[in-house]
């Protein structure tokens, strides 16, 4: 019975965090979408349960005024995982997976490639879904002045466009790369035209 209580408490924490009113994109719908895309590439992971655990927690802490959300999310995942009795090796990999979602460099190891590709799958979705994503990101950053938001958002999107490939796993590359580049180019052009 204690294990069931622990699982319920862990899910309540996730539900509360992702259900916060200011989360227009980084919410449970995002996690559900990630899990759907993860199902496509799950077979590539040697230890898929670790990637899935990391997916649940990768944005559990999300404050647009901070720059350490991934580190905070990883720390919280580590606490929950330690309380559940996960091994040090498992906890370390979960932390590394969550930190890969900072997207500050293309991932090299397969588990990181999977979580990064899944997290970025939204970039390659059909135009209406991508446009909804952009609008929801802007809502999350509503307090940021328009000029600052446009400059910051343009820089982020260009970083992805400047990579030789946005996606590392062949399946998600084939599925999303071309549309992601189209979406990002269109979004950058729109951000620049509003200046």
Q: What is the pLDDT of residues 108-164, one digit of tens each?
A: 899 999 999 999 999 999 999 999 999 999 999 999 999 999 999 999 999 999 999
What mean pLDDT, rounded, does the chain reach?
94
Taking residues 98-117, report their average pLDDT: 96
Q: Tell me, rounded to whole angstroms, the distance of Cα 173 from its chain centroid.
A: 17
CA distance 163 to 159: 7
Query: Do the Cβ atoms of 98 and 73 come closer than 8 Å?
Result: yes
- First vs last C-alpha separation in the chain: 58
Beta carbons of 24 and 68 less than 8 angstroms apart: no
CATH number at residue 182: 1.10.1300.10
- Rounded CA gap, 41 and 38, in Å? 5
The C-alpha atoms of residue 131 and residue 95 are separated, in whole angstroms, by 31
Flag whether pLDDT at 18 surpasses 90.
yes
- Which tokens in the block code for residue 57? 């927690």
Q: In which residue are the tokens 């399946």 written?
A: 171
- CB count within 10 Å of CB 65 equals 8
* Whether residue 8 has pLDDT greater than 80: yes
Check if the beta carbon of residue 171 is closer than 8 Å to that of residue 181: no
Residue 80 token pair: 């929950």
Is the confidence at residue 5, as pLDDT, over 70? Answer: no
How many domains does the structure of the chain reveal? 1
Confidence at 3, pLDDT banded by 50, 70, 90: very low
Domain of 109?
2-193
Over residues 172-180, mean pLDDT: 98
User: What is the predicted pLDDT for the residue at 2?
Assistant: 45
d(CA 19, CA 26): 9
Burial 23-36 (b: 16+ CB within 10 A, else e): bbbbbeebbebbee
Taking the complete model, does pTM exceed 0.75, yes or no? Answer: yes
pLDDT of 1 > 70? The answer is no
């Amino acid at each position: 019975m204690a294990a069931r209580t622990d699982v319920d408490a862990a899910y309540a924490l996730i539900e509360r965090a992702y259900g916060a009113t200011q989360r227009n994109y980084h919410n449970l719908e995002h996690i559900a979408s990630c899990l759907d895309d993860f199902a496509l590439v799950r077979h590539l992971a040697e230890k898929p349960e670790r990637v899935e655990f990391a997916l649940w927690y990768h944005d559990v802490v999300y404050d647009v005024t901070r720059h350490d959300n991934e580190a905070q999310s990883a720390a919280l995942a580590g606490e929950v995982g330690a309380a559940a009795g996960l091994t040090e090796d498992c906890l370390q990999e979960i932390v590394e997976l969550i930190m890969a979602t900072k997207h500050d460099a293309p991932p090299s190891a397969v588990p990181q490639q999977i979580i990064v590709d899944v997290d970025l799958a939204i970039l390659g979705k059909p135009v209406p879904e991508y446009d909804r994503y952009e609008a929801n990101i802007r809502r999350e950053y509503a307090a940021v002045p328009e000029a600052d938001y446009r400059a910051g958002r343009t820089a982020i999107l260009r970083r992805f466009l400047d990579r030789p490939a946005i996606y590392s796993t062949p399946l998600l590359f084939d599925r999303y790369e071309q549309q992601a580049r189209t979406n990002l180019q269109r979004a950058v052009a729109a951000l620049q035209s509003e200046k």
